[in-house]
């Protein structure tokens, strides 16, 4: 008998707690949890190497919590799931919805196919606070600006769903071996370079919970000020855990809402909740404008003439631009799979404005190297910094990496952590070593162009060129 058995398709919800599809299926009876590496539908958005490393660890952690019952597959879900249902006789499927354009198209097709065969399909919201189609302006059109979207669109609606507990019991279907082993999914990169990532991260539901608890205890009370300081660890670093669904935004929302904070720290709480709002807004934009990852949101930027310079792009990727804060950020990314958010804005601005290389080239590098690579956030953020996106920073807002460093990394601790060649430089010169007197450079053991690169661009001149290129967009074509 297969009545009361549900196939639970795990996707970006690799957790036991607050998992609506898992909770509802487990309340009805036995479950067969599966994970499929879809190598058919993502196209150019196949997961990057660092994301694959994280996914391997996260699946291992989830399988342990499921008592070894998780089954792994690689292939096309449109073929695999119907075949699996036929072989097991299961008549019910459940999953939590995903919102990337290719996922929406695939899932709609699968749901239709299964329902035509008499299979029950139940889908739930397990990864967003508000559904994108529920938050609209009075004229039923989608928002394009964050503040009215969040303040008027989200916060005036019903509050986010309260998190569900873990199922009281998880009774899994005992079957003959199905699918492949975790190792056979081939998620771990070749060469062993990924081992360094394990020293910085603990993928999995337990790691996500620990990260959130540490943030609340140590950093929430001064988040608004501390989040801009890359020389400290004051951000939550929850983004990869949220992307893979090891913790839900609902769990984070209510932990923050109920956290005990000192009087006067209410603005810190609100500031952090608004960052969750930006995550929602990115997914919202991607849902309503599916071309966001490839096309300029503001069409006038279609006329912008980007430079093509493989050498400059490689220098940026490798952290060898000669601009210390930029190089520190890119080296942090390579060494840890992560970059502080303030620094992300600075390295992004440097790429698209000082170097005038396309935002798509930066997006592609982040996609392959970030542990929190997320199509919605990556696309919206790169378009934001390029000036071409929704509610974007205007193109003429060009971050100066020297003054940014002096303001947010005043002693150069962040730069020196990732650019140790500069560790002997006085703070006055650590963000602009090319301005240091020859005697100071010699005393600090720095020879520009040898120990550390000379700047590949002049910041003032390249800024003027960027503004001129932007001004050309306003001229009649």
**Residue 467: which CATH number?**
1.10.579.10
Same domain for 120 and 32, yes or no, is: yes
Mean pLDDT of 397-402: 95
For residues 210 and 339, membership in a common domain is answered with: no
Examine the domain organization and report whether 371 and 409 are in the same domain: yes
Closest CA relative to residue 67, chosen from 193, 161, 170: 170
Provide, rounded to the nearest whole percent, the portion of the chain with pLDDT above 70: 99
Mean pLDDT of 25-29: 95
pLDDT confidence bin for 476, thresholds 50/70/90: low
DSSP one-letter string for 186-220 = --SPTTSGGGGGGGT---SHHHHHHHHHHHHHHTG
Statement to judge: residues 55 and 143 lie in one domain = no
- Indicate which residue of 113, 131, 152, 306 is catalytic: 306
pLDDT surpasses 90 at 425? yes
Give the separation between CA 114 and CA 203, rounded to whole angstroms: 33
E strands along 27-163, which residues? 31-38, 71-75, 92-96, 120-124
Residue 218 domain-assigned? yes
Q: Of 288, 320, 346, which marks where a domain is finished?
A: 288
236 lies in the same domain as 372:
no
Helix (H, G, I), strand (E, B) or coil at 449: coil
CA 218 – CA 206 distance, rounded (Å): 18
Q: Which domain holds residue 45?
A: 6-125
Q: Is residue 198 part of a domain?
A: no
In a shared domain, residues 109 and 223: no
Note whether 134 and 157 are same-domain residues: yes
Q: Is 130 noted as a catalytic residue in this protein? A: no
Q: In terms of domains, do 268 and 402 share one?
A: no
Does 141 lie in the same domain as 104? Answer: no
Active site residue 193: no
Residue 244 lies in a domain: yes
CATH code at position 282: 1.25.40.80
CA distance 391 to 129: 21
431: enclosing H helix or E strand: none
**Last residue within a domain, chosen from 220, 255, 288:** 288
pLDDT band at residue 310 using 50, 70 and 90 as cut-offs: very high
- Does the pLDDT of residue 294 top 80, yes or no? yes
Among 222-226, 303-307, 391-395, 465-469, name the one with the lowest average pLDDT. 391-395
The pLDDT of residue 173: 86
Catalytic residue among 206, 341, 413, 434: 341
Higher per-residue confidence, 261 vs 405? 405
275 classed as catalytic: yes
Q: Is residue 177 part of a domain?
A: no
- Residue 359 among the catalytic residues: yes
Residue 397 pLDDT exceeds 70: yes
Residue 330 sits in the same domain as residue 348: yes
Check residue 44 and give its pLDDT: 93
Query: 10 Å Cβ neighbour count for 292?
Result: 23
For residue 183, being part of any structural domain is answered with no
Q: Using the 3D structure, point to which of 288, 315, 343 is the last residue of a domain.
A: 288
Q: At 34, which CATH number?
A: 3.40.50.620
Among residues 53, 316, 382, 384, which one is catalytic? 382
Question: Residue 181 falls within a domain, yes or no?
Answer: no
Answer whether residue 436 is part of any domain: yes
Torsion angle (degrees, nearest 10) of CA 47, 48, 54, 55: 20
Query: Is the Cβ–Cβ distance between 153 and 135 less than 8 Å?
Result: yes
Could you tell me the pLDDT band of residue 272, with boundaries at 50, 70 and 90? very high
Q: Is the pTM of this model over 0.85?
A: yes
Pairing mode, strands 92-96 and 6-10: parallel
Residue 67 DSSP code: T
Span 7-24, mean pLDDT? 98
Given 53, 253, 359, 367, the catalytic residue: 359
The reply to whether 342 and 390 lie within a common domain is yes
What's the structural domain count of the chain?
A: 3
Q: How far apart are the first and last CA of the chain?
A: 70
Whether residue 196 lies inside any domain: the answer is no
pLDDT reported for residue 1: 43
Name the percent of the chain lying above pLDDT 90: 90
What are 320-333's pLDDT values in tens digits?
999 999 999 999 99
Residue 393: pLDDT band (50, 70, 90) is confident
Helix axes 205-218, 49-65, angle to 10 degrees: 100
384 is catalytic: no
- The verdict on 92 and 145 lying in the same domain is no
Catalytic residue (one of 278, 334, 413, 434)? 278
């Amino acid at each position: 008998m297969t009545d009361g058995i549900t196939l639970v398709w795990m996707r970006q919800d690799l957790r036991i707690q607050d998992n609506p599809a898992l909770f509802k299926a487990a309340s009805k009876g036995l479950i067969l949890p599966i994970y499929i590496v879809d190598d058919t539908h993502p196209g150019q958005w196949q997961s990057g190497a660092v994301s694959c490393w994280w996914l391997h660890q996260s699946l291992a952690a989830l399988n342990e919590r499921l008592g070894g019952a998780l089954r792994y597959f690689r292939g096309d879900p449109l073929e695999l799931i119907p075949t699996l249902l036929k072989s097991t006789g299961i008549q019910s499927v459940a999953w939590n919805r995903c919102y990337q354009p290719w996922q929406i198209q695939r899932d709609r097709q699968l749901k239709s196919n299964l329902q035509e065969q008499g299979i029950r399909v139940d889908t739930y919201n397990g990864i967003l606070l508000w559904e994108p189609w529920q938050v609209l302006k009075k004229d039923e059109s989608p928002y394009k600006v964050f503040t009215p979207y969040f303040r008027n669109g989200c916060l005036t609606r019903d509050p986010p769903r309260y998190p569900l507990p873990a199922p009281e019991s998880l009774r899994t279907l005992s079957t003959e071996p199905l699918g492949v082993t975790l190792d056979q999914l081939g998620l771990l990169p070749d060469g062993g370079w990924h081992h360094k990532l394990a020293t910085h991260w603990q993928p999995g539901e337990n790691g996500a919970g620990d990260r959130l608890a540490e943030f609340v205890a140590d950093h929430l009370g001064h988040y608004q000020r501390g989040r801009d300081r890359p020389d400290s660890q004051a951000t939550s670093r929850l983004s990869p855990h949220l992307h893979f669904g090891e913790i839900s935004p609902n769990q984070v929302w209510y932990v923050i809402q109920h956290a005990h904070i000192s009087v006067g720290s209410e603005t810190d709480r609100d500031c952090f909740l608004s960052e969750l709002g930006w995550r929602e807004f990115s997914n919202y934009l991607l849902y309503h404008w599916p071309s966001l990852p490839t096309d300029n949101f503001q069409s006038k930027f279609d006329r912008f003439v980007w430079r093509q310079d493989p050498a400059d792009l490689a220098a940026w990727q490798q952290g060898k631009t000669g601009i210390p804060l930029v190089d520190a950020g890119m080296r942090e990314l390579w060494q840890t799979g992560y970059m502080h958010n303030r620094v992300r804005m600075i390295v992004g601005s440097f790429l698209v404005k000082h170097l005038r290389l396309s935002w798509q080239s930066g997006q592609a590098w982040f996609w392959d190297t970030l542990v929190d690579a997320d199509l919605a956030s990556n696309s919206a953020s790169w378009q934001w910094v390029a000036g071409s996106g929704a509610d974007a920073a205007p193109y003429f807002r060009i971050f100066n990496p020297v003054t940014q460093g002096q303001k947010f990394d005043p002693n150069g601790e962040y730069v020196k952590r990732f650019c140790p060649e500069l560790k002997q430089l006085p703070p006055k010169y650590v963000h602009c070593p090319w301005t240091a007197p020859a005697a100071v450079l010699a005393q600090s053991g720095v020879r520009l162009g040898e120990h550390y690169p000379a700047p590949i661009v002049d910041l003032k001149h390249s800024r003027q060129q960027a503004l001129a290129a932007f001004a050309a967009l306003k001229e009649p074509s």
